[in-house]
């Protein structure tokens, strides 16, 4: 799917926070229902259940458009229209979606309340252009858009606290799939529910929002209400993946996190595992950890970022790696061949070379995510707010060493090894 730095992706979890906005949404819904009646768009009036679903779609659209209007860069809102998405029978379908969602957008467009910038279309098997809309000036007569009252919007918890994804299809996408509830899935959901309950009441702020909102790299609004997390497992296997997703901080650039996030009024520290996946691979192989920086394959620090990307790609690859990973070749001397780089890497890390190309990465990711779940849960029991970020947590500066100790202990408990390297990065002064 094509990406744009100035597209905001529709969030079906947005709702009216204030009674004033809820009333405005109700009036907007009634206006659209009256419009349907006037033009004879429906042979029969909507039943109450259908009206409720239609109103839910209107509310989610209205809240998204309010946030969109608060972003100074003037982005467009990318909305789903494909039947394959809106009616996907994956067991986790959001009630906002369905024919009522399309009817709501069509009604808003017919009344001149939104403008359709483009209808989505398919460029190729792996590339699609999204449908884009934006509010018209007339919508301000119905919603608080001038100025946009974005603080009247909230995000509800995702009802799907855990998601099991299939393997990637021919388009390179992995869809969520239905699964049967079990003691294990209830345990996973319970962990996420407790984490979200703690984060919901935590003192977390984002500075610089008095003049408006901004978009993260994930195409979602950077706002402190976006702290409801879900856990995503991969390849139709509960033993693979399990990383957390959904937090506003995940779409921010590293420097921006330091500059703008405050926890209990403090600047944050980034506490992370160093070279985690290869160290877990050495533990899996039962081999002693190598001395020094695992990613310094050349021995002089050159091309470290390239070696890091290549090594992790080999750990995730299920079979021989036939092409350079994206943004990797640039870190190597001109003319370097992939097979030569792989040979050099395998020689440098011979004890785990037989783990390259066997699809181990998602199993290592599951260990990583279990450790982060344990760390965040333990810190919450101490009253310490920790924002998880793959192999790291963001905490208030004064809690950095508490988090470091917790991460060291989590690694030892998960692996039986004390070889973890946990580093702390404080906000640059």
Reported pTM: 0.89
pLDDT at residue 420, as a whole number: 86
Closest CA to 175 of 87, 79, 98: 87
| Separation CA 381–CA 375 (nearest Å) | 10
H or E element at residue 123: strand 121-124
Q: Report the chain's mean pLDDT, rounded to a whole number.
A: 91
My answer on whether omega of the bond before 147 falls inside 30° of 0, hence cis, is yes
Identify the DSSP state of 15. Answer: E
Q: Are 160 and 181 in contact (CB under 8 A)?
A: no
| Separation CA 35–CA 24 (nearest Å) | 17
Identify the DSSP state of 139. Answer: G
| Separation CA 295–CA 312 (nearest Å) | 10
Residue 172 has pLDDT above 90, yes or no: no
Residue 43 has pLDDT above 70, yes or no: no
Angle, CA of 376, 380 and 385, to the nearest 5°: 80
pLDDT at residue 46, as a whole number: 74
| Separation CA 82–CA 90 (nearest Å) | 15
Q: Is the Cα torsion angle 58, 177, 217, 424 positive or negative in sign?
A: positive
Cα–Cα distance list, 4 to 129, 217, 372 (Å)? 10, 10, 31
pLDDT tens digit string along 175-192?
A: 888 899 999 999 999 999
pLDDT at residue 137, as a whole number: 94
What DSSP letter does each residue of 300-337 carry, written as one string?
SSTTHHHHHHHHHHHHH-BS---SPPTTTGGGS-TT--
Residue 5 has pLDDT above 80, yes or no: no
Residues 6+ apart with CB under 8 A from 105: 61, 79, 81, 114, 133
pLDDT tens digit string along 283-325?
A: 999 999 998 899 999 989 899 999 999 999 999 999 999 999 9
Residue 82 has pLDDT above 60, yes or no: yes
pLDDT at residue 127, as a whole number: 59
- How far apart, in Å, do the first and last CA atoms of the chain sit? 39
Residue 89 has pLDDT above 90, yes or no: no
pLDDT at residue 91, as a whole number: 42
Owner of token pair 């595992």: 273
Residue 92 has pLDDT above 80, yes or no: no
Residues in the chain: 429
pLDDT tens digit string along 117-153?
A: 888 776 555 557 889 999 999 999 999 998 899 999 9
| Separation CA 164–CA 404 (nearest Å) | 30
CA 380 to chain centre: 21
| Separation CA 354–CA 248 (nearest Å) | 38
Residue 90 has pLDDT above 60, yes or no: no
Residue 63 has pLDDT above 90, yes or no: yes
Q: Is the Cα torsion angle 144, 148, 154, 158 positive or negative in sign?
A: positive
SS (H, E, C) 149-213: CHHHEEECCCCCCEEEECCCCCCCCCCECCCCCCHHHHHHHHHHHHHHHHHHCCCEEECCCCCCE
Mean pLDDT in residue range 356-383: 97
The residue among 38 and 60 whose pLDDT is bigger is: 60
Owner of token pair 């039962």: 286
Closest CA to 179 of 92, 50, 103: 92
| Separation CA 222–CA 248 (nearest Å) | 5
| Separation CA 162–CA 245 (nearest Å) | 10
CA 229 to chain centre: 9
- DSSP helix/strand/coil, 132: strand
| Separation CA 265–CA 342 (nearest Å) | 47
Owner of token pair 């506003």: 248
pLDDT tens digit string along 257-269?
A: 999 999 999 999 9
| Separation CA 21–CA 15 (nearest Å) | 9
């Amino acid at each position: 799917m094509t990406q744009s730095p100035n597209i905001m992706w529709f969030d079906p979890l947005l709702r009216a926070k204030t009674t004033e906005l809820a009333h405005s949404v109700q009036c907007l819904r009634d206006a659209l229902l009256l419009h349907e009646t006037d033009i004879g768009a429906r042979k029969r009036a909507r039943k109450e259940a259908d009206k409720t679903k239609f109103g839910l779609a209107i509310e989610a659209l209205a809240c998204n458009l309010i946030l969109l209007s608060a972003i100074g860069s003037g982005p467009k809102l990318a909305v789903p229209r494909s039947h394959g998405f809106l009616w996907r029978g994956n067991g986790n379908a959001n009630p906002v979606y369905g024919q009522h969602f399309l009817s709501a957008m069509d009604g808003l467009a017919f009344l001149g309340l939104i403008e359709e910038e483009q209808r989505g279309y398919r460029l190729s098997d792996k590339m699609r252009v999204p449908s884009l809309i934006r509010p018209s000036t007339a919508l301000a007569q119905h919603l608080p858009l001038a100025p946009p009252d974005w603080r009247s919007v909230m995000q509800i918890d995702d009802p799907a606290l855990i998601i099991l994804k299939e393997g990637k299809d021919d388009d390179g996408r992995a869809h969520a799939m239905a699964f049967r509830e079990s003691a294990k899935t209830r345990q996973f959901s319970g962990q996420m529910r407790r984490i979200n309950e703690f984060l919901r009441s935590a003192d977390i702020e984002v500075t610089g929002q008095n003049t408006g909102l901004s978009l993260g790299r994930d195409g979602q609004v950077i706002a402190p209400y976006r702290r409801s997390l879900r856990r995503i497992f991969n390849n139709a296997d509960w033993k693979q993946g399990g990383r957390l997703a959904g937090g506003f901080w995940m779409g921010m650039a590293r420097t921006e996190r330091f500059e703008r996030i405050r926890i209990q009024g403090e600047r944050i520290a980034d506490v992370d595992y160093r070279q985690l996946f290869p160290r877990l691979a050495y533990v899996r192989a039962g081999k002693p950890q190598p001395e020094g920086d695992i990613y310094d394959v050349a021995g002089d620090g050159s091309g470290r970022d390239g070696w890091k990307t290549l090594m992790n790609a080999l750990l995730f690859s299920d079979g021989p790696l036939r092409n350079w990973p994206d943004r990797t070749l640039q870190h190597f001397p001109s003319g370097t061949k992939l097979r030569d780089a792989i040979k050099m890497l395998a020689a440098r890390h011979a004890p785990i070379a037989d783990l390259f190309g066997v699809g181990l990465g998602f199993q290592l990711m599951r260990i990583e995510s279990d450790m982060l779940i344990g760390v965040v849960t333990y810190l919450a029991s101490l009253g310490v707010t920790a924002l998880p970020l793959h192999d790291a947590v963001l905490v208030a500066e004064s809690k950095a060493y508490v988090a470091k100790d917790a991460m060291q202990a989590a690694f030892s408990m998960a692996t039986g090894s004390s070889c973890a390297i946990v580093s702390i990065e404080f906000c640059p002064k």
